[in-house]
Copies of this chain bind each other. A is one copy, B any other.
Amino acid sequence: MSEPLRVEAGGKPGESVVWIGTGLLADADRYLVSRSGRFLLVSNAASRSLTEPLRRVLSGRLLADVEIDDREVAKRLSTVEKVVDAALAAGVRRDDALIAVGGGVVSDIAGFAASILLRGIEWNAVPTTTGSMADAAIGGKTGVDHAAGKNLLGSFHPPRAIVVDASTLETLPERDYRAGLVEAFKSAWISDAELAARAERDLSALLGRERRSLFDLLAGSIRIKVEIVGSDPREQGRRRLLNFGHTLGHAFEAAGDYRLRHGEAVAWGIAGALAISRERAGLSEATARRLRTVLAGLGPFPEPVRDPALLAPLLSRDKKSTVRGIAGVLLEDVGRARVENAIPLEVWIEAAQRASLSPTG
């Protein structure tokens, strides 16, 4: 095993550290942070085999071992309660730390639980999907869905350590693997034209899970997120760029009762945002076509629900919605994005109808 890559994240130096490598979980003790040395493990059923090395390494220091349902329908306050109940029953103290092993839903729930336990205990994220690795819990957005919409309850609570172990991807189902890459490309598209060009060129190697190109894209998208979040931890300005494709993406996800994977819905959301960017941000048709070609290559993705009657209330309830309109991220060119604060609902609805993953639009 070669030495892992270490990336400092978080507002202050050392606040969060990302480790990127292969086979890190067998040596997890070196990377996971707990002031007391004691941990609470939160994982999903799919990562059962992946957490075995952790259980061995942390034997005798695991206060609790909680398996949660990580389907989007279970991303509710009641699942957070399950985690906090187990932690409190086990006698969790302020200097203990939690570990979340799984995809984005696991870290959203476990991170939220950590943020409210004893008014906040530390936690570690071990993402095991391409999507959650690209996102990597950097910046500490945690949260759950509510009857009224997605991610409506939550907190900002960055993990102390993020352990990205590429070996955990070996057992990831193809559909999740591909959907997750959408998030990695998204980061490149909004702020790193060179990384985007390399990843686009390496697309077939990426789809073949070729390790070198996968590392390049994951490490690149993690660095982008670290840099953007570091400059705007509370999402008052630049951090909002990371929401590229997410305004429509979240609406597509909810309108289809979460049958689309998050990354798939974001792919459709990006397609819609490209249509708006053509009209309002000067994006060229050639560039829009280039991005649709990549998305088509990552797919094919199932069709989203485009019914305006379903999408409109979801868009209006978006967290990025204010009394003045619904904010969105528009692309001016590859590597250059900007936030437009008040895009009318009608524009979103129309883009949802036109969103296409066919290269020719």
Contact = CB atoms under 8 A, between A and B. Distances in A.
A88 B148 contact: yes
Number of copies: 2
Contact of A77 (B77, B118, B143, B155): B77
A231 interface: no
A117 interface: yes
15 contacts: A38-B323, A85-B147, A88-B146, A89-B148, A93-B322, A94-B319, A95-B322, A115-B155, A116-B153, A116-B154, A117-B153, A118-B153, A119-B141, A119-B156, A120-B156
A152 B117 contact: yes
Contacts of A88: 146-149, 152, 317
A319 B320 CA distance: 35
Given A88-B148, A155-B155, A118 B319 contact: yes
A178 to B, nearest CB: 29
For the residues of A in contact with B, the DSSP-based class is mixed
Interface string A245-289: 000000000000000000000000000000000000000000000
Interface centre among A36, A88, A93, A118, by most chain B C-beta atoms within 10 angstroms, is: A118
B153 A95 contact: no
Interface residues of A, number: 37
A93 B146 contact: no
Nearest to A321: B93
A84 B116 contact: no
Given A36-B323, A89-B148, 9 more contacts: A36-B322, A77-B77, A88-B148, A88-B149, A88-B317, A91-B317, A94-B320, A115-B155, A119-B319
Residue among A38, A91, A116, A149 with max Cβ neighbours from chain B (10 Å): A116
A301 B256 CA distance: 59
Interface in A339-354: none
Interface of A: 36, 38, 77, 81, 84-85, 88-89, 91, 93-95, 115-120, 141, 143, 146-149, 151-156, 316-317, 319-323
A317 B147 CA distance: 34
A154 B120 CA distance: 8
A118 B235 CA distance: 12
Contact of A94 (B91, B148, B322): B322
A147 B322 CA distance: 38
Q: What are the 7 closest A-B residue pairs judged by CB atoms, nearest first?
A: A88-B148, A119-B154, A118-B319, A116-B153, A95-B322, A36-B323, A93-B322
